[in-house]
Amino acid sequence: MGLGGTMSPEELAELSKHNNVHVKLGAIVALRRLKAPEVRAFLNDSDERVLLEAARAIHDDLSIPAALPDLAKVLNRTGLKNEALLRRAVNAAFRTGMHEEPEILSRFLESNKDVSADIRALALASILWWSAPPVLDPVEGRYRKMKPRDPASADAVVKQLRPMTLSDEVLTQVLLRGVIHLKNKHWLEGSHQKFANWAPATQSLFLNALDQVSDPELKKYVVLALSSKHSEVRETARGFAKKAGIPVVDLLVAILNDPKSSGQGKAVIELAKLTNNKDATAHFNSLLAKYKAGKIPREWQLEMWQAAKIRGIELPATPARLEYGGSTKNGKKLVQTHPAAQCIRCHQIDKKPVAAAIGPSLTKIGKARNRSHLVESLLHPSKHLSEGFGTVVLESKLGEEISGVLNKNDAKMWVITLPDATRKKVPVGEIKSHTFISAMPPMGALLKESEIRDIISYLVTLK
């Protein structure tokens, strides 16, 4: 503060030649407060601490616009490693917006291949978004609205950098995102032949880019991607199959034949809806025969049962169709929040308190019960009672009627807590008949079949 009040900006700039780094840093702070472009003198320093402080003074907050071109020229230096410094220098080049800045960024990319992938990605993105600057500063997140610029200089640089860009997976992904958002089809030139060598994420981006620019080769690469060994690439390709002109039935069959596809259940339903399509009907009848023979994947047995109903075919409503194929994430949400089922009102999970502990804890239910038992417990809660929960009404062979809470029931003896709180032991051999009564209503009346399946998928994870 004292330096800023006693020295002029020119005098402060002269301190860039001082031997003491702390004096230099103090001078930079003073120049920053004065918003003086003379702070650019410190950009020639060899100490990256001084360079970074000068970069912050010029770039951050409301900035010192007159010195931004000088900060951008720091990129002409090689060997700099400080990412905070380089990030501000790259962004200064972008913000300056002069026609020579794309060339500065290009030279930086070509001459500094050992800097971090993040910095190189930012440099290329700055070139790609040259003509359509985003309103949020990528370094500070500050709102900085800039005018659109002539894309010619940036397009020339993109073409010049193409060989290097396409040989670097990270830069290729930046390029493809640029194509997706800015819809510049010329940036894809020379990229098609690289498709087979890319990682799955890059291949998926490429398909998206082809779609965004209506590339005539979209169908070719969708067909290639549908046979990829990577499930995420196949999923992406299926999303563009219809637009690419691939027959719907062929697409649905491809999904059903894909063991790693996440959309098989939906594909069965869609296949069933194509009632006027002979190929769809033939494929559906083949699936129906496999279902009846027990050879259909268990993960989409429910959808196969639902699809049969669409076709007017009644299949047995076996509980097994609810055991597999659900969403664990959705099941957890249903258990915690479903307004009608209200599972956590009565059942404890972990150590979370419940309103009324009138149901057994579910904390380790996945270890104690298998899927079949869990489905039956949800559909017919009175068929089996957990010890200490639920009421039993029984008649002994001697004609005695006993009712109360069932505390224990093994192969030899039942223990029942009577209304007066006393416990009565009843040998199994003396029981003539019994009825279990659960406080939990049958969940089939409150939840959809798909929701029950989701809950099962969640409960089996509780171990």
Q: What is the pLDDT of residues 224-274, one digit of tens each?
A: 888 788 889 988 998 898 889 888 888 888 888 887 777 788 889 989 998
The whole model's pTM is what? 0.64
In this predicted structure, what is the pLDDT of residue 6?
76
3-state secondary structure 339-395: CCCCHHHHCCCCCCCCCCCCCCCCCCHHHHCCHHHHHHHHHCCCCCCCCCCCEEEEE
Q: Which pLDDT score is estimated for 393?
A: 93
pLDDT for the residue 256: 87
Query: Domains in the chain, start-ordered, CATH in brackets?
Result: 2-167 (1.25.10.10), 248-317 (no CATH), 318-380+443-463 (1.10.760.10), 382-439 (2.30.30.520)
What is the per-residue pLDDT for 355?
56
Instruction: Tell me the one-letter amino acid at 413.
Output: M
Q: Are 227 and 212 in contact (CB under 8 A)?
A: no
Residue pair 427/442 in contact by the 8 Å Cβ criterion: no
| Helical (H) or strand (E) element with 404 | strand 401-409
Phi, psi of 414 (to 5 degrees): -110, 140
pLDDT attached to residue 246: 86
Cα–Cα distance for residue pair 232/416, rounded to 1 Å: 55
- Give the residue ranges of the chain where pLDDT is below 70: 1-5, 353-357
- What is the distance between the alpha carbons of residues 67 and 300, in angstroms, rounded to a whole number? 63
Q: How far apart are CA 326 and CA 107, in angstroms?
A: 53
- CA–CA dist 339, 342 (Å, integer): 6
- For the segment 356-398, what is each residue's pLDDT rounded down to a tens digit? 567 888 989 999 899 999 999 999 988 877 878 889 999 999 9
**pLDDT tens digits, residue range 291-328?**
999 998 999 999 999 999 999 999 999 999 999 999 99
